[in-house]
Amino acid sequence: MKTLRSFADLEDYGIIMLTGESCRFSQRVLCDLTIEGQMLMQEFFGIELKSESWNRGVCSIMLTYDMFAPIARFALSHVDAALYIAVHPDNLQVSGFNDEAIIQDFTELGWQVWRNHPIPGQPVEGSRNVHAMSGRSA
């Protein structure tokens, strides 16, 4: 089981938190992205990221603080291949695991638990399913 508790924990996925002072409205945190982080965020958002790097990455991005939980869920699913994702009610802790036996432990503590449902044999492109009729992916 792996638990992520803050943007700092996303550094393992190439998302390097720099500062919250960059946002005029104090709503976003500036992050540099390594190649891995850039690929993960491009897959997450479905867009190409080409901004300049602020410090030590290949590009930078401003993320709102409440994006931590969805990005952590995606990273644990996409990179670590976690079958189950549990999110604490405060959205500040996200755990990925593959042991179905501990689901009840999380739910009794008030955590929300999701099960990833990959469809066996479904054609995919990255994290997207390929549409059966058109052969396209979103």
Does 135 reside within a domain?
no
- Edge-to-edge, what's the strand order for the sheet holding 15-19? 15-19, 28-33, 59-64
Please, what is the end-to-end C-alpha distance for the chain in angstroms? 31
Task: List pLDDT tens digits, range 4-47.
Answer: 999 999 999 999 999 989 999 999 999 999 999 999 999 999 99
Does 18 reside within a domain?
yes
Structural domain that includes position 68: 2-129
Does 37 reside within a domain?
yes
Whether 118 has a pLDDT exceeding 80, the answer reads no
Q: For the chain, what is the domain count?
A: 1
- Going by the DSSP 8-state scheme, the letter that residue 63 receives in this structure is E
Does 31 reside within a domain?
yes
The length of the chain in residues reads 138
How far apart, in whole angstroms, are the C-alpha atoms of residue 122 and residue 136? 13
Does 136 reside within a domain?
no
When pLDDT is cut at 50, 70 and 90, the band that residue 138 belongs to is low
Task: List pLDDT tens digits, range 49-102.
Answer: 988 888 888 999 999 999 999 999 999 998 888 889 999 998 889 999 999 999
